[in-house]
Amino acid sequence: MQIGSNKVVSIEYTLTDEDGRVIDQSSGQAPFAYLHGARNIIPGLEQALEGKQAGDELTVKVAPEQAYGPRDDGLVHTLNRSQFQGVDELEVGMQFHAGGDNGGMQVVTITAIDGDNVVIDANHPLAGVTLNFQVKIHDVRDATPEEMDHGHAHGIGAANDH
């Protein structure tokens, strides 16, 4: 069975950056399952998997534009420490949920602290990064009506479990 819309696909993968550093991998866990065509994974990887089948192995290079987007320096802001009410100790790397421009929530990460100045970055940590996937396709099956209605795969290793 070929990968296409409304198929549940189970893959094993290793994700590295351009320097070969491992960013994420599925080894030692159940294969990662997702609903193809439901935007459960980044567009560049989903496009590369289209039409493939169980047993196929491939290497996929995904440019930032087809992954988490280019880095946007406009999403980096300096705030006063007083804006972090209720947080006793601030540290570089801490993440917070903040209201976004469109009324939704976004994750921001503290990237620097200088006295009362706290630099936050609302870019995804992988924005601007070219991603390299080593993928092995384990299984391809028809999605259940419930999975299609919910927009994600169900069960062990499913995208909604991560």
In a domain, 2, yes or no: no
Q: Are 120 and 110 in contact (CB under 8 A)?
A: yes
- Residue 135 and residue 63 share a domain: yes
> Mean pLDDT in the chain?
93
**Helices within 26-115 (DSSP H only):** 43-49
Is the same domain home to 64 and 133?
A: yes
Per-residue pLDDT averaged across 128-138, rounded? 97
Pairwise CA distance, residues 112 & 77, whole Å: 10
CA distances from 83 to 79, 95, 96, 121, 151 (A): 7, 14, 12, 15, 37
pLDDT band at 28 (very low <50, low <70, confident <90, very high): confident
Q: What is the CATH number of the domain that holds 43?
A: 3.10.50.40
Residues 107 and 34 in one domain: no
**Confidence band, pLDDT 50/70/90 cuts, at residue 157:** low
Q: In this structure, what CATH number is given to the domain that contains residue 81?
A: 2.40.10.330
| Whether residue 64 is found in the same domain as residue 95 | no
Separation between Cα atoms, residue 22 and residue 16, nearest integer Å: 4
Which pTM was predicted? 0.82
Q: For residue 1, is it within any domain?
A: no
